[in-house]
Chain A
Amino acid sequence: MARSKLPVLRRISQIFFLILFLALLVFTSLRPTPGGTSDIHLRAPVRLFFEWDPLIAVTNAIASHALYRGLLWSLIILLPTLFLGRFFCGWICPMGTLQHFVGDMPSEAKRGKQRIEANRYKRWQTVKYVVLIAGLVAAAFGSMAIGWLDPFSLLVRSIGLAILPAFNFAVRAVLAPMEHSHIAVIKATGGVIHAVLQAVVLDFRETHFAQGLFLGILFVVILAASLRVTRLWCRSICPLGALLGAVSRWSVLGLHKDADSCNKCNKCLMHCQGGDDPIGGVPWRKSECLMCMNCVGSCPHSSLEFRFFRNEKEVASPDLGRRRTLTGIAAGAVAVPLMRANTGMGKSRHELLLRPPGALDEPDFLSRCIRCGECMKVCPNNSLHPTLDQAGLEGLWTPTLVPRIGYCEPSCVLCSEVCPTGAIWQITPKEKGWVAGSAQSLPVRLGTAFYDRGRCLPWAMATECIVCEEWCPVSPKAIYIQEAQVIDSAGNTRTLKQPRVDPSRCVGCGACEYACPLQEHPAVYVTSIGESRSPSSQILLNRK
């Protein structure tokens, strides 16, 4: 009998969705669009993938008591899983595909018998259910910490903030000497390659992200683990896989094992992705199977087949047990209150924690942000970076604006357009209100600028400057100038223009901080006080 064609179909599907994902991720950036002076929008940002992510939908619903725009689409994954099992993990998920690919590479640690043993079901595969339960309980306490481990979140964060910037650097490092070559042919070739890559994958300019190295290493380690145990991450950590595994217990599609023809050769274990016991003599574990169909293809006796409505002994539910269930509940129930017992959210927020425009107030923000880094990937000024400690441990990898690297562009709202969960609520440039004449309501404010008069050139060094005032985008400008007589080191009296901030006009965009010539420690800097999202973090009694 001919070998099953299903693994081939599966592979085509995996490649298709991986490429689709990468394309969407690369195009989650500001790209030149034809047409006039219109506002700039993103047509196909990578958040489409998050809209297929039932884990994000479920936790978003638990934490915010609502489903943000588009998340209802995740039903197109959740509902078929009820009938067909974890096909998503084996056929669609790009994180799974990458691990599948790495897991198929030749590895010293996975040969013959070792490989078969590694692919037998292991009790530690239940860890992912504990993670899932902890994540769901944490969501009920108002924290979307599950985003640290959600596969799409992990992918966007790792590839968007580490792998792609590294790729951009590498390509430019090779092309730059070519483009500056004195040999015309080399120069022209470099120019053409650059232009082509620029149109397809390269960013307009190199980006750099805080913790990029760490995020990149973490990602490589997760993938490399598959060299030892196939899909270690999918099998043991992935909370989305756990959710789909739990849901698939009712699925009507299952593995039929023909006990008569099976001679227990174990070949089905060679390429098993899920570690779900496809071998004869033991019950098949439904919640672990990724529906990759490899076992069907590798069985030499055609003893295995996926069938609808079969009546066979199987382990349908996760092999969790009361103790592990309780562990998960306890972990989630203890973690969030403990993290909030710390300073950082209720008391003494970090002064440099500047959230993107449209961000909700901190408690609501943390109950939505999944730390996917999409806002950071899309920001055209490379302004947004993952936090380390600025938002407390609970807020690890949530976005913060770092004006000395990039300020917030006055009419740009791309971060709010790509945010999949509404942590940065979608706003229009008009609602942002930095474009003068359009503000019917109060503008969004990220913080307030302050001068360090000990470093500012006209204040401290008898030198003309006020670049900050030139760049200030609001109108009338939030930085106003006063002429002052100062005495320079030679004793001459000079008349200089000294800048000051009007806190009632400042929106905290950070353009002044970005433009300040004292780059490494700007003489004007933005702190979060006065951010419009927080009613308690205000300076003025009446800020217009």
Chain B
Amino acid sequence: MAGETEPTTAGNSAPPAPEMTRRDAMLQLLRLGGVAAGAAGIGVWLSEHSFRPVPAKAEQARRDHRTAANSLFPHMSVVQGGEPRALVQRALEDLGGIRRFVGRQDVVVLKPNIAWDRTPEQAANTNPEVVAEVVRQCWQAGAKRVIVTDVSCNEPRRCFQRSGIQAAARAEGAEVILPNPDLFREVDMGGVVLKTWPVFTPFLEADKIFNLPIAKHHGLVGVTLGMKNWYGILGGERNRLHQEIHQSLVDLANFMLPTVTLLDCYRVLLRNGPTGGNLEDVAVKKTMVAGIDPVAIDAYVAKAYWDLDPAHLPYLQMAAARGLGTVDFASLAVKTSLLG
């Protein structure tokens, strides 16, 4: 107790401190006043900024990269009987050549299916040679950047390597971007069921988007073709999409309208999709179906390999009603080529 009431005795032995001048006292008061005023100012400013947190308004950004129809070229090209690279070459040639789709200095993003930890023979991911050939042609057309990316289901590092797409695309000089969890942006997709979702940034910053899906069986829908490939632009809890799968597919297709679609049917996974794994479920069809009408391409392939009419695939009819294309592929200009 004594220590509290009595001033410290330590100063007794020390030399007496010099008297404080008026000037020093004023300066000390000014400093204190400044700190006090600053603290009060920051406090008031912060308290005025206390709002209940609301999610930042997501950007509204429908991505319409569609190529205008041209009477000189067919809407759709079906090429059969060749190796993957030859199929791509002929399909693009039939559709008017790569320069119809890619201009000089374009940032081109290619979206193959790299969803599963599977090898090319198992036909769960897009054929790596198809991707490589498109990369090569994009460079020829004078693209500034050619990016290959996907948001995988299985572990991405494994999917990108074991699909062979990473190696094949890099060999042609493409940038291969793995789905870095830090690079997603909340986007208002403006769909009927898909509102705000995280979208992988490279897909939002592209000038041109190529959809490079592979044709596979799917337990819930029946088939997974071109439009379902857009699942792979999303992050977040996309396992909820199955609950309204047809509406989700249409919402996605209405959000992301590709420059062109090349649907890889070199190997087709007829059963046990979309993961497959068993080579007995894979049929080698050596076919490429490409074009600018995403609905017609899906309708054509569903009919060709699974004998599914649009009546069995509600998403196709819904997409057509939304103005995204036509299910009646027979009414379109389709060019069929047979190689070799």
Contacts and interface: CB of A to CB of B under 8 A. Distances in A.
B167 interface: yes
Contacts of B277: 410, 434-437, 473-475
A381 B239 contact: no
A206 B180 CA distance: 11
B145 interface: no
Nearest to B280: A437
Interface string B278-296: 1111000000000000000
Contacts of B161: 32-33, 35, 37-38, 40
Contact of A437 (B156, B167, B182, B279): B279
Interface stretch (B5-13, B102-110, B241-249): B241-249
B190 interface: no
B16 interface: no
A474 B281 CA distance: 12
Contact of A475 (B158, B240, B275): B275
Interface in B118-165: 119-120, 128, 153-158, 160-164
A106 interface: no
A466 to B, nearest CB: 5
Contact of B178 (A32, A381, A477, A497): A32
Contact of B243 (A35, A412, A463, A472): A463
Contacts of B167: 34-37
B157 A464 contact: no
B181 interface: yes
Contact of B245 (A35, A464, A481): A464
B239 to A, nearest CB: 4
Nearest to A205: B181
Nearest to B164: A37
A464 B242 contact: yes
A206 B70 CA distance: 48
Contact of A466 (B183, B219, B279): B219
B272 interface: yes
A464 B239 contact: no
Contact of A172 (B182, B218, B271): B182
Contacts of A194: 182
Contact of B153 (A469, A471, A477): A471
A42 interface: no
B24 to A, nearest CB: 36
B182 to A, nearest CB: 6
B243 A30 contact: no
Interface string A487-507: 000000000010000000000
Given A40-B158, A464-B243, A437 B117 contact: no
Contacts of B278: 436-437, 475-476
Nearest to A465: B242
B74 to A, nearest CB: 34
A407 B178 CA distance: 20
Interface residues of A, number: 50
A467 interface: yes
Contacts of A38: 161-162
B55 to A, nearest CB: 15
B157 A31 contact: yes
Most B-side CB within 10 Å, residue of A176, A194, A410, A497: A410
B166 A32 contact: yes
A314 interface: no
A438 to B, nearest CB: 9
Given A409-B155, A469-B220, A464 B163 contact: no
A472 B274 CA distance: 9
A389 interface: no
B237 interface: yes
Interface stretch (A51-59, A255-263, A303-311, A514-522): A514-522
B276 interface: yes
Contacts of B245: 464
Interface in A2-50: 30-40
Contact of A30 (B119, B158, B182, B218): B158
Nearest to A514: B239
Given A32-B161, A517-B239, A476 B272 contact: yes
Nearest to A380: B155
A204 interface: yes
A463 B275 CA distance: 23
B237 A517 contact: yes
Contacts of A497: 219-220
Contact of B276 (A175, A206, A412, A475): A475
Contacts of A312: none
Contacts of B163: 37
B178 A204 contact: yes
A266 interface: no
Given A35-B167, A475-B272, A476-B278, A470 B219 contact: yes
A288 interface: no
A234 interface: no
B239 A473 contact: no
A179 interface: yes
Nearest to A379: B155
Nearest to A179: B182
A517 B240 contact: yes
Contacts of B181: 205-206
B193 to A, nearest CB: 12
A464 B241 CA distance: 10
A380 B117 CA distance: 12
Contacts of B243: 457, 463-465, 517
A293 to B, nearest CB: 45
Nearest to A382: B155
A437 B279 CA distance: 7
A464 B154 CA distance: 22
B117 A411 contact: yes
A516 B243 CA distance: 12
Contacts of B117: 409-412
A411 B219 CA distance: 22
Contacts of A466: 219-220, 242
Q: Which of A30, A381, A465, A515 neighbours the largest number of chain B CB atoms within 10 Å of its CB?
A: A465
Interface in B204-228: 218-220
A412 B182 contact: no
A544 B218 CA distance: 26
Given A464-B244, A481-B219, A409 B275 contact: no
B315 to A, nearest CB: 13
B120 A37 contact: yes
Given A464-B244, A465-B243, A497-B220, A409 B158 contact: yes
Interface in B257-282: 271-272, 274-281
Interface string B177-211: 01001110000000000000000000000000000
Contacts of A475: 272, 275-278, 281
B107 to A, nearest CB: 16
Contacts of A380: 155, 157-158
Contacts of A31: 157
Most-contacted residue by chain A among B239, B244, B274 (CB, 10 A): B239
Interface string A434-473: 1111000000000000000000010000011111011111
Given A40-B161, A204-B156, A476-B278, 11 more contacts: A30-B155, A35-B161, A38-B162, A176-B182, A205-B181, A437-B279, A470-B219, A475-B276, A516-B239, A517-B237, A519-B237
11 contacts: A34-B170, A35-B167, A37-B163, A40-B162, A205-B181, A409-B158, A435-B277, A436-B279, A464-B244, A473-B275, A473-B277
Interface of B: 117, 119-120, 128, 153-158, 160-164, 166-167, 170, 178, 181-183, 218-220, 237, 239-240, 242-245, 271-272, 274-281
3 closest A-B pairs by beta carbon, nearest first, are A436-B278, A475-B278, A475-B277
